[in-house]
């Protein structure tokens, strides 16, 4: 029986753990954005983690020069439309040194996104907010949800270095966790 086949499976195991206030607050924020319960979000995260580690070949298939790192970071897109500013809440699903994959919920499928915009977010365990200028690569919208691929246009070297340091730190953690 496949444990990830949700049809007919019954949840009968209870897990309990402690976390710090900052992590819990960010988790609740993500839950509001994704309109999920905390329990459901944690279950999805654990299931994804088990699937990836169950199949190491998924991790080793990356061929990009700037590999994407999966994440779940709440962010705000700031775009200019004529003389008005438009704000979208979104979730950064993956980051690389030069791009981001964003998911927007409750968006009209006919929504036209600006070619140039900014993303405002905080990296995990960082007090320095990043406001990065971006260029739209492509957007795909289906059923009130949009996936946006954007390229960073770094104007501030410090922001570039902060993002690079975060991505390298995650690489180091992943390598140590595999040992």
Q: pTM (2 decimals)? A: 0.58
pLDDT of amino acid 62: 53
Question: Distances in Å between the alpha carbon of 49 and those of 52, 56, 59, 106, 147?
Answer: 5, 11, 11, 27, 22
Ranges of each domain in the chain: 21-60, 69-178
Per the listing, tokens 């949700």 go with 6
33-65 residue pLDDT tens: 878 888 888 887 887 777 666 655 544 555 555
88-139 residue pLDDT tens: 899 999 998 889 999 988 776 566 778 899 999 998 888 889 999 999 998 8
- Tell whether the torsion through CA atoms of 39, 41, 45 and 50 is positive or negative: positive
Span 145-155, mean pLDDT? Answer: 87
- Tell whether the torsion through CA atoms of 160, 64, 140 and 146 is positive or negative: negative
Per the listing, tokens 């699903």 go with 93
Please, are residues 150 and 135 in contact by the beta-carbon 8 Å criterion?
A: yes
pLDDT of amino acid 55: 54
CATH number of the domain located at residue range(s) 69-178 in this protein: 2.40.10.220
Question: Distances in Å between the alpha carbon of 35 and those of 44, 109, 114?
Answer: 13, 19, 26
Sequential DSSP letters for 82-144: TTEEEEEEEEEEEE-SSEEEEEEES--TT----SEEEEEEE-TT--SEEEEEEEEEEEEEETT
123 vs 172, more confident: 123
pLDDT of amino acid 175: 42
pLDDT of amino acid 10: 67
Q: What pLDDT band is residue 179 in, cutting at 50, 70 and 90? A: very low
59-86 residue pLDDT tens: 455 555 567 788 889 999 998 877 888 8
Per the listing, tokens 């390298």 go with 168
Please, are residues 39 and 46 in contact by the beta-carbon 8 Å criterion?
A: no
């Amino acid at each position: 029986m496949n444990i990830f086949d949700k049809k007919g499976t019954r949840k009968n195991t209870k897990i309990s753990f402690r976390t710090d206030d900052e992590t819990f607050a960010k988790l609740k924020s993500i839950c509001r954005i994704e309109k999920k319960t905390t329990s459901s979000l944690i279950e999805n995260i654990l299931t994804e983690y088990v699937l990836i580690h169950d199949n190491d070949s998924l991790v080793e298939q990356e061929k990009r020069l700037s590999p994407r790192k999966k994440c779940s970071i709440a962010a705000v897109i700031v775009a200019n439309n004529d003389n008005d500013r438009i704000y979208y809440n979104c979730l950064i699903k993956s980051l690389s040194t030069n791009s981001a994959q964003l998911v927007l919920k409750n968006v009209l499928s006919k929504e036209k996104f600006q070619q140039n915009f900014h993303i405002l977010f905080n990296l995990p365990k960082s007090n320095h907010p990043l406001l990065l200028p971006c260029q739209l690569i492509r957007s795909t919208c289906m059923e009130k949800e949009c996936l946006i691929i954007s390229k960073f246009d770094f104007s501030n070297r410090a922001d570039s270095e902060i993002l690079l340091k975060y991505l390298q730190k995650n690489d180091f953690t992943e390598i140590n966790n595999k040992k």
